[in-house]
């Protein structure tokens, strides 16, 4: 099975290393993408693996080259019509035009996309009305028409894709920090978010973006940080601030913690034992952790997380790690406790 995998700029080498761990043969690559071949008969890989650094995965992509908007549009129309032959589409069908993070490519993509819709509308207007430019976030492949511009004149097309986890969130002008966006995106990745009256413990909470996000959902928050919380957050009736070392914080026995948030500026080697301690004692039901990967080998961190004896996986009914849209030199770890 051939796969076209996209990633953030400069993360191609890490994605390549991740793919090699899953017996994936690397065929070619460019800025923000890798084309690989997955050996599904390999003992280690029987399905498309969960990859931390892959954003979108196009399954069995077809490569096309053309040197003008009209020619690209024509080729894409041919491919789309061929794929629709003999099918009767009743439900909305994703038609996504994506592109590498290369300057000036977006204009090209918009022109081709709009020309393509016009052409399809003239030939099959009922079907064109069913085309949507979004897909539900899923770790499973979805069917549709997926177009990825790797370059001005080079495009990959697929009829099935995994439109990963990355999703740009909207900033809330009242949120005290941009970190707010990271936790909002993480809820989607986990497919779950705090509910009214749930108890959150926010380690490394200041100035309060993550706490604010939980408060918006009417949760109660214990915010642990030596630094100052934003004033409106600190005085909110649902917030208790503890000015202490979050790495050493243990919740009281009677405290029923639904959510552990952790966004501490420390190396993952220091954060992971803290999360493991929380999980080992069953102190929280769900967790969202942001890990700073600037000064470590992230693949080694992922290996540690997934180690059945010394990692976190043994305590979790669900555990996912991914570089999300709002992560910079960071990755996000989300999960649910076994109990
Ligand atoms: C990236 S900021 C957190 C941003 C926060 N999540 C938000 O949404 O506004 C990291 C925080 O970790 C805190 N921190 C670092 N080491 C800590 C420790 N050992 N104990 C408590 N807080 C710590 C820093 O004071 C800083 O406020």
CATH code, 316: 3.40.50.150
**136 plus 225 within the same structural domain:** no
pTM: 0.92
Helix (H, G, I), strand (E, B) or coil at 188: helix
* Interior/surface letters 273-306, b for 16+ CB within 10 angstroms, e for the rest: ebbbebbeeebbbbbbbbbbbeeeebbebbebbe
Judge if 148 and 283 occupy the same domain. Answer: no
Residues 142 and 54 in one domain: yes
Residue 248 Cβ inside 6 Å of ligand 1? The answer reads no
| CATH number for the domain harbouring residue 143 | 3.30.2130
Distance 248 CA to ligand 1 centre (A): 13
Which residue's C-alpha comes closest to atom 19 of ligand 1?
245
Ligand 1 contact, 265 CB (< 6 A) = yes
Secondary structure (3-state) at 96: strand
Question: What pLDDT shows up at residue 281?
Answer: 95
Q: For ligand 1, pick from 263, 266, 270, 332 the residue to mutate: most ligand atoms within 8 Å of CB.
A: 263
Could you tell me if residue 116 is inside a domain? yes
Q: What is the pLDDT of residue 216?
A: 98
- pLDDT attached to residue 194: 98
Which residues belong to the active site?
Answer: 292
Q: Containing domain of residue 45, as a range?
A: 2-163
- The verdict on residue 168 lying in a domain is no
- Cβ(218)–Cβ(196) under 8 Å? yes
Same domain, 304 and 234: yes
Q: How far apart are CA 225 and CA 222, in angstroms?
A: 10
pLDDT along the chain (339 residues), means of 10: 94 96 92 91 72 94 96 97 92 92 86 96 94 81 94 95 82 96 95 97 98 98 97 97 97 93 97 97 97 95 94 96 94 95
Q: Is the CB of 181 under 6 A from ligand 1?
A: no
What is the reported pLDDT for 44?
58
In a domain, 172, yes or no: no
In terms of DSSP bridges, do strands 284-292 and 330-337 run parallel, antiparallel, or are they unpaired?
A: antiparallel
**What distance in Å separates the CA atoms of residue 269 and residue 301, rounded to the nearest whole number?**
8
- Same domain? For 238 and 196 the reply is yes
Please check whether residues 237 and 132 belong to one and the same domain: no
The total domain count for the chain is 2
């Amino acid at each position: 099975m051939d796969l076209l995998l996209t990633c953030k700029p400069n993360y191609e080498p890490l994605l390549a290393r991740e793919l090699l761990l899953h017996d994936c043969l690397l065929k070619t690559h460019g800025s923000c993408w890798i084309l690989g071949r997955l050996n599904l008969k390999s003992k280690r890989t029987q399905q498309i693996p969960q990859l931390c650094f892959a954003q979108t995965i196009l399954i069995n992509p077809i490569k096309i080259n053309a040197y003008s908007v009209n020619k690209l549009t024509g080729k894409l129309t041919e491919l789309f019509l061929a794929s629709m032959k003999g099918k009767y589409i009743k439900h909305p069908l994703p038609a996504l035009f994506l592109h590498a993070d290369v300057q000036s490519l977006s204009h090209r993509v918009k022109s081709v996309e709009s020309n393509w819709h016009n052409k399809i509308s003239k030939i099959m207007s009922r079907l064109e009305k069913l085309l949507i430019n979004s897909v539900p976030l899923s770790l499973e492949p979805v069917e549709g028409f997926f177009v990825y511009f790797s370059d001005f004149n080079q495009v990959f097309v697929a009829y099935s894709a995994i439109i990963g986890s990355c999703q740009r969130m909207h900033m809330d002008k009242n949120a005290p920090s941009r970190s707010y966006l990271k936790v909002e995106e993480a809820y989607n990745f986990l497919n779950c978010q705090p509910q009214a009256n749930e108890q959150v413990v926010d380690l490394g909470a200041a100035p309060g973006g993550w706490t604010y996000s939980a408060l918006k959902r009417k949760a109660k928050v214990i915010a642990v940080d030596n630094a100052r919380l934003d004033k409106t957050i600190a005085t909110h009736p649902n917030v208790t601030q503890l000015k202490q070392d979050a790495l050493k914080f243990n919740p009281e026995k009677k405290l029923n913690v639904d959510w552990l948030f952790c966004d501490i500026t420390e190396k993952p080697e220091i954060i992971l034992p803290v999360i493991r301690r929380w999980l080992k004692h069953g102190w929280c039901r769900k967790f969202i952790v942001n890990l700073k990967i600037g000064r470590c080998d992230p693949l080694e961190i992922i290996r540690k997380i997934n180690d059945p004896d010394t990692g976190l996986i043994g305590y979790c009914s669900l555990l996912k790690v991914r570089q999300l849209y709002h992560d910079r030199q960071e990755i996000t770890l989300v999960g649910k406790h076994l109990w």
